[in-house]
């Protein structure tokens, strides 16, 4: 049984090493020619007028976060539904608790006004 986890661990370590190797290769091979023009703000080929920093509305982040939570919930529901007959009543209770926690979170977000567009 530990050999299966060892293979996963080895794959994980190889992935981390590969990622750092790609970043190091990029850092070594990139052109290093700093220039003042490269530091200017660029937007659609036109010079910017006024302040270029625009604050991000937190509502967009909240919508994305709530969508992500319920998207992950759906991912967890698929394997549970496929193996429901084998798992029995205990798995049904666990999934009910899982869904109850998500519904309470959804209700709290709704109560706090996270879904209202302003």
Report pLDDT digits (tens) over 48-90.
677 767 677 777 777 788 788 888 888 888 888 888 888 888 8
Is 1.20.58 the CATH classification of the domain at 2-111? Answer: yes
* Alpha carbon distance 97, 21 (integer Å): 43
Q: Are 102 and 74 in contact (CB under 8 A)?
A: no
* Alpha carbon distance 47, 67 (integer Å): 36
Q: Are 60 and 118 in contact (CB under 8 A)?
A: no
Flag whether the pTM goes above 0.85: no
- Between residues 80 and 14, which one has the greater pLDDT? 14
The neighbouring-strand residues paired with 43 are 46
Residue with the two structure tokens 């091979």: 29
| Domain positions in the chain | 2-111
Average of per-residue pLDDT across 84-107: 86
């Amino acid at each position: 049984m530990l050999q299966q986890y060892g293979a996963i661990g080895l794959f994980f370590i190889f992935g981390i090493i590969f990622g750092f190797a790609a970043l190091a290769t990029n850092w070594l091979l990139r052109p290093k020619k700093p220039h003042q023009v490269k530091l200017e703000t660029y937007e659609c080929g036109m010079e910017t007028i006024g302040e270029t920093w625009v604050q991000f509305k937190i509502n967009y982040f909240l919508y994305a976060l709530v969508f992500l939570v319920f998207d992950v919930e759906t991912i967890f529901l698929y394997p549970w539904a496929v193996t429901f007959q084998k798992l029995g009543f205990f798995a049904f209770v666990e999934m009910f608790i899982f869904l109850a926690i998500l519904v309470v979170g959804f209700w709290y977000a709704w109560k706090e006004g996270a879904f209202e567009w302003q």
